[in-house]
Amino acid sequence: METVVIVIHLMVVLALVLVVLLQRSEGGALGIGGGGGGGGGLMSSRGTANILTRATAVLAVAFFATSLALSLIAQNEDSPASILDAVPATTDGAPATGDGAPAGGSGGILDSLRQQSEPSGPQVPAAQ
């Protein structure tokens, strides 16, 4: 579902950029511009400007809708819990107390990390 919304979102973004670049600016830099003929026909400069303005508005609404949909999808997905939020249990299976220290002595996250970082086995003295 998320992939489909992302693909739609990217297509809307590309179309929105294209439509904005096609619009006639004050200087007429990248605009379609053509000075074609008389009245208010569909492909006159005025009719083209109306179509591009409406297309920009529709694509902007679609952009905001897909952005909101993606943020709602991301919010509702299960995110991994932090290991610091978990209550560590002691080695005898007793639950830890509320202050972060186990009920039966040491055995918290920091203690287990210290035990892992301490070298085991015989120690060789440093050369002097």
Q: What is the pLDDT of residues 71-119, one digit of tens each?
A: 999 888 766 666 666 665 555 555 555 555 545 455 677 777 777 766 6
Question: pLDDT tens across 5-48, in order?
Answer: 999 999 999 999 999 998 877 655 555 555 444 444 556 667 77
**The predicted structure's pLDDT at residue 56:** 93
Q: Backbone phi, then psi, for 58, in 5-degree steps?
A: -65, -45
Query: How distant, in Å, are the alpha carbons of 21, 37, 54 from that of 50?
Result: 15, 17, 6
**The predicted structure's pLDDT at residue 32:** 54
Q: Could you tell me how many residues make up the chain?
A: 128
The C-alpha R_g of the chain, in whole angstroms, comes to 32
Angle at 84 between CA 79 and CA 89, to 5 degrees: 115
pTM: 0.49
**The predicted structure's pLDDT at residue 115:** 72
Torsion angle of the four alpha carbons 70, 71, 75, 76, in this order, in degrees rounded to the nearest 10: -30
**The predicted structure's pLDDT at residue 75:** 84
Q: From CA 105, how far away is CA 94, in angstroms rounded?
A: 10
